[in-house]
Each structure stands twice: as C-alpha cells, then as structure tokens.
Structure 1
Amino acid sequence: MNDWPTGLQDELLRVGWSPERRVDTSGWRSIFEPRGLEMFPAAEDFLSRFGGLSFEKRPNGIDSWCFQFELDPRLCAGEEDLFLDWGRTMGKAWFPLGEYDNSRFFLAIDEDAVIYTAVNWIARFGRGVRGLAAIVFGALPEPLGIDAVED
C-alpha cells in the first residue's frame, strides 16, 4: 500500500474497507461465467478487495464532481453481451465491476487490471488502485476515441 495514491486508503476506510478485507466473489462468478464472461485473476483480485463498496457523489473532485459509484457486478447482469463486445473491441477480456454516476455508465476491468467506464463510448480510468483512485477523487477518464459496438 506504500505505492497507493495519497488519501485513497482514508477514503476506502471511510466506506467500510479494511486492508484485511476479502469478499467472496463466487456469487458474481456464478452470474457471469455461464453467460460467457470469465472472471480472470485481475478481476478476482480487485473484486475480492473492493467489491461491494459504494461511494456517494461529492463536490470538489480533481476534474469534476466525485461521482457516485458502486462496485457490485450484479448491477450489470443482463448486459453481458456489451462487456463481451467491449472486450473484443479493446482486444482484452473484460469483466463487469458495477455502475458509475448514478447508473449512467458501467464500470469494467480488463485482464491487465485496467479500469474503464463505458456506455456508448469507452474511456479509461487507469490500472488497479490508480484507476480506483481516479474514480474516487473525481478525475475524468481518458476518452479512447472508441465508440461502443451498437447492434
């Protein structure tokens, strides 16, 4: 945790996280794997540490408001085809993490632990805890100039 962004641990502690926290991910795995979304090691690691946490909207973020988000993949159930398509578009497997900005956008993680937001376009927050910190502290994601696949 020495290489974590300053203040991230305090914000996580505020919402009920602890360094020893480990969440059972089997429920999320059982929802998505039968539908073609395999929980790869980066998703397993991230969700076991941070899954189930929820943050409220707050003012004064780095680039904007600190938007509300929830790290609960169940919120993405029924949208598996989107995550499969976005993963194919990016050339890496994706797994759902939850919802961002009052359910306006989905959050996902790829097999290299990069965190994205997507709906009609794809943007990147960053890798692992740095990506999580970007969301927590209200940094805008980096637009990738990629439109999501439309049916």
Structure 2
Amino acid sequence: MAIREILEVPDPRLKEVSVPVETFDDELKVLIEDMFETMYDAPGIGLAAIQVGVPLRALVIDLQPEDPDAEPELCEAHGGHAHYHQPHKREPRVFINPEILDPSDDLNTYSEGCLSVPEIYADVERPAQIRARWQDVDGNRHEEAIDGLLATVLQH
C-alpha cells in the first residue's frame, strides 16, 4: 500500500471524465487499498480515484464513527493541553461505478469539505435519502437505500 498524491484545484486532471471500471483485478484492489491509506492519512472521509490522478469511477468512504466501546485516548496534540478523544472505528466502504437513484425531495445541509480543495468548507444542500447502485472490488452488484452523512458523501 502507498500514500498517493491528492490532486488539488486547479489541477486540470481533476476535470477529466472518469470512465467506468471494467476490469476487477489485483491492480484495482491495489488502487483501492492505496486510496484508503491516502484518505486516512489526509485525513478525510471520502476519496475518488480521480483525486489521485486515476480517471476511474471508483470511490472509497469511511465515516469513521466514534467507537462507544473503546476507552478514551489521551491526546496532547492540540496546543500542548492534555484531553481525551473517543477513538473512531473504521467502517471502510468501496463504491465502484456508483449510480445515484431516486433522490428524495427532502434535503439535508452539511458543512462539506474536499481533500482537493483543502481548508475550504461550505454548507451544501443535497437530497437527504437516495438509492444507490454500485459494484464492489470483486465486481458484485449492490443496491441500497442510503441516508444521512453517507448519502451526502456519496453525492459529493
């Protein structure tokens, strides 16, 4: 696994049209592993292949919710004062060739950031619920009703 460079605006490669993934092989699995490692290192909760210079319709997401069963961890990284953080658990999800279906009329607003536009956040309104169809790294097809933050990240 390797941490890849995240392209930032105004890099013209970010404007390339991503093509569907047609070959589900070890090369794709390495790309997905690298994308997760890159996203966690950034840190972020979602990363598309185009953001690492690969124009394929592939996306990794991990909302990294707090782990209520874990013991709080001591942190001294913020300005030298000690405090505790609740550890996060990893729940990695891979979306290959994702399609957004049936967006709801109800909207949610989240303050969104983007790893390709660092340190900029904006309130963005998106459908609160969607149906999504995608493939996993082995090419298996999935369809699911999705809401909340995951729906927002998938639509980003």
**TM-score normalised by length of structure 1:** 0.25
**If you compute each CA radius of gyration, which structure gives the higher value, 1 or 2?**
2
Bigger fraction of residues in helix: 1
**TM-score normalised by length of structure 2:** 0.25
Bigger fraction of residues in strand: 2
